Chains A and B, each alone.
Chain A
Amino acid sequence: MFGNICLIFLQMVVILGVSPFVVGLIRKVKAWLQCRKGPSVFQPYADLRKIFCKEAVIPSTTSWIFTITPYILFGSTLAAGLLVPAFFADMPLGFAGNIIALVYLLALGTFFLILAGLDAGSAFGGMGSSREALVASVTEPAMILSIFAIGLTAGSTNLNTIVHRTALFQGVTTDPAPHLLALGALFIVALAETGRVPVDNPATHLELTMIHEAMILDYSGRYLALVEWAASMKLLVFLSLLVNIFAPWGIAVEATAGAMTLGLVAYLVKVSALAVVIGILECTVAKLRLFRLSELLGAAFILALLAVIFFYMFRG
């Protein structure tokens, strides 16, 4: 019991601690590719500290939803992070929810953020909320279907089981096609859900083009810090999902200090590698037109659908 609590605590520290680093790393990669030096990869930590210390201004037009949203967003994203195996394959919280619970924990945060964007009554917040709702609604089918495809090959929707089976090549070697197709779908979903190029541009100052940033324009101080931190955690949750479902090797399967250390190092290396891939991708494509997003996410949906079809074809 005590060991489990320690594990949960450790995972929490890793999720909270590593997430700003991933954001910093993507920025650094982009800077390198642009022949810039760029800020240090640890800059997001300094930014968070700075924003936490600032006074929070709350628009007088807002209701309780505005102030409660950052806490709900932060809490739900952190809870989602605890459901995903990071460096240890048997998450003690695994009993509490499977991959579907994870999806809707993240959706809960998005839902409240959409409400908060509308709450302040500014034009930009409303635009951001309406666009986020659009993105969320076209992302969800692709996300659920790709998860089903993975669940089918692994024979379970429990993340621990999926990771275990994949690590031991159960299911994967017999039919890798559904797995790879689902990987493609989930990668696109991850980009859309975390507001990266080509779906959204996290670096822009142009309010009219924003999606995620437009909803949080009215936040400041500790509220903003929580929202920003939650956004980087969400990114890390998706990266963890991708690396551990599709490449779980190196993850600790026994609760020994040596295995755990190795698992942690492997985890950091894998997540960093994926962050570098995202950084490179962001430098090579332009942001899509808003109404082309449905085409991109439609492609993700088709990939996931093919994954499910292939699963039954290979089995039958």
Chain B
Amino acid sequence: METLFKKFMAQFEGRVLNVRHCHGIPVANVAKEDLSMMARYIHQDKAMHGTLSLLWAVDHRPCEDRYELLYLFTLRGYQEWMVLTIDLGGEERVFPSITPVIHAAQWYEREIRDMFGLIAQGHPDLRRLVRHEHWPKGTHPLRKTYAWNSVLTREQGEYSFNRIEGEGVFEVAVGPIHAGVIEPGHFRFSVAGEPVMQLEVRHFWKHRGVEKLFEQKLLTAGVPLAERISGDTTVGHALAYCEAVETLLGLEVPLRAKYLRCVFLELERLHNHLGDVGAICNDVAFTLAHAHCGRMKERIMQLNDQLTGSRFLRGIIDVGGMQVDLAPQQFSQLIGELDTIQPDFTELEKILAVNASLKDRLETTGLLKVRTAWDHAALGYVARASGMDRDLRFDRPFAAYNLLPVKVPRYQEGDVRARMQVRIDEIHESMRLIRQIQSDIRPGPIRVEPTTMPQPGDWALSGVEGWRGEILYFVMAGEDGRIHRCKIRDPSFVNWPIIQQAVMGNIIPDFPLINKSFNLSYAGNDL
């Protein structure tokens, strides 16, 4: 490991100000002026082939009067991580934008501007992102000087959408209130007849200040909040949070607890993927598949309820291990349920595979090219359907995945059908993993209690492959075991801008189908 980081260090001998390792992740502190050049090297060099995975800021006050910006890169093969950091001391509020070099940085830099008031110089689009226009000027909630319980006054203002003008070009505004039971989000289409010329996604209606809320909490008390960031990804978020905190506290989670975490993560993947396959079919009026997938999803959720007392698997994971254990007979109940669902699903799969009208709708719809996916650093099934075989369970194993080799499906087509096929393959893989865990797992303790307190300023990064894709948590310890800063990155934040590219050239009635094949979280994105 770290061969690519060594190559980076060799390339920039003497220009890197300071190198250290933070819980196994190499961190290089560099000068502001060098950042763009180094980012370009990491991104474009054939051997490094790095994508920007996360970009976030930390306000170090009251300890030190500086902001720190951190850039997490995933290097070639998706197995190696490295972090670049720059410091903004004193009254400095401007940092160089890397968006012109790395497209994936665009939303992160706008987010930092809104939350911290730090301006990315050279960013091509500095409109507000999270702060809607009714927020008063100068409101930057993640600054330490901003009280978490401040009440905002309401200002007037209007967001300016990207406009296409010309004869026969119309704007179609959809949302934030929709006809179905869907979260709020606004979609602005520019259309000429039915074909979409441009889509602009306007989100963050559901911003709840989650990252600020974390800063009021003890490290050991953050799980309930993490579980509620995106309701359908309870286990993914809880697990990612716990992994980060456990690294900080130096906890070694017992093996049985690690296995159990994998079981529940796969169960969450199962019920969401089953629901999605049905929902994609429902959007093309193929209601048969929807009904049957809905039934199978419901069976898994009822199973969740019987095993843990929660249909959404809440309250089962905690810092240091698990809250619930599975008895042997519960394991056999679980496997029994999978044994009835799998042949059922396989039969449905055959129906889906031979239905020509369905195939015609799903193929070539919502095409996401391999190159576009790479430029946006796409995640999860969206990436795997567009030629990127990234999956943290395989690339950087967490929990017990180092003992459970995961087969990662990959398709090149990048259309709705490929995204559905990735899910179908993952459903079978999840069932196989759960069966393997049942035969591998041994009795033992399921939790350990924290004994130490982390140093203020110490931080940890964790990554978990949730059902939707890579979930990242950055947790920095503060005084008295509290959280100084918690940065959360749901895969939706990365994949939402990609939808804008995937609908180009499609017709407007196909948008709901494309959107469903991405099935992104609004709450996880808006935070």
A residues with CB within 8 A of B:
30, 33-36, 123, 126-127, 130-131, 197-198, 201, 203-209, 282-292
Contact = CB atoms under 8 A, between A and B. Distances in A.
Contacts of B283: 204, 206, 209
Nearest to B179: A205
A208 B509 contact: yes
B285 A198 contact: yes
B511 A208 contact: yes
Name the 6 nearest CB pairs between A and B, nearest first: A34-B291, A287-B285, A201-B285, A286-B284, A286-B286, A206-B512
A220 to B, nearest CB: 14
Highest count of chain A CB atoms <10 Å: which of B173, B284, B361, B512? B284
Nearest to A292: B360
A284 B354 CA distance: 11
Nearest to B355: A286
B285 A204 contact: yes
Contacts of A289: 360-361, 507, 509-510
B281 A206 contact: no
Given A208-B174, A209-B510, A289-B360, 5 more contacts: A30-B287, A285-B357, A286-B284, A286-B361, A289-B509
Contacts of A291: 194, 507
B180 interface: yes
B103 interface: no
A154 to B, nearest CB: 34
B292 interface: yes
Contacts, number: 84
Nearest to A213: B179
Nearest to A197: B285
B322 to A, nearest CB: 36
B189 to A, nearest CB: 9
B403 to A, nearest CB: 39
A170 B88 CA distance: 93
Nearest to B172: A123
B295 interface: yes
A58 to B, nearest CB: 20
Nearest to B295: A35
A33 B288 contact: yes
A285 to B, nearest CB: 4
B287 A203 contact: yes
Contacts of A198: 285, 357
B278 to A, nearest CB: 11
13 contacts: A34-B287, A198-B285, A205-B180, A206-B179, A208-B508, A209-B510, A209-B513, A285-B286, A285-B357, A286-B285, A290-B507, A291-B507, A292-B360
A41 to B, nearest CB: 18
A283 B289 CA distance: 9
Contacts of A287: 284-286, 361
B257 to A, nearest CB: 39
A209 B284 CA distance: 9
Interface string B278-305: 0001011111101110010000000000
A131 B283 CA distance: 18
B339 to A, nearest CB: 20
B358 interface: yes
Contacts of A130: 193
Contact of A286 (B194, B281, B511): B281
Contacts of A204: 283, 285
A224 to B, nearest CB: 15
Nearest to B187: A208
Contacts of B286: 285-287
B291 A35 contact: yes
A203 B288 contact: no
Highest count of chain B CB atoms <10 Å: which of A198, A206, A289? A206
Interface string B494-526: 000000000000011111110000000000000
A130 B172 CA distance: 14
A284 B356 CA distance: 10
A186 to B, nearest CB: 21
Nearest to A200: B285
A290 B506 CA distance: 11
B511 A123 contact: no
A203 B511 contact: no
B374 interface: no
Given A123-B170, A198-B285, A290 B509 contact: yes
A290 B479 CA distance: 60
A290 B283 CA distance: 13
Contacts of B360: 286, 288-289, 292
Interface string B174-218: 100001100000000000011000000000000000000000000
B224 to A, nearest CB: 33
A255 B194 CA distance: 53
A289 B512 CA distance: 13
Contacts of B290: 34
A197 B295 CA distance: 23
A34 B288 CA distance: 5
B53 to A, nearest CB: 33
Nearest to B511: A208
Contacts of A283: 287-288
Given A197-B285, A209-B283, A283-B287, A123 B173 contact: yes
Nearest to A211: B509
A207 B174 contact: yes
Nearest to B286: A286
Contacts of A282: 285, 287
B358 to A, nearest CB: 4
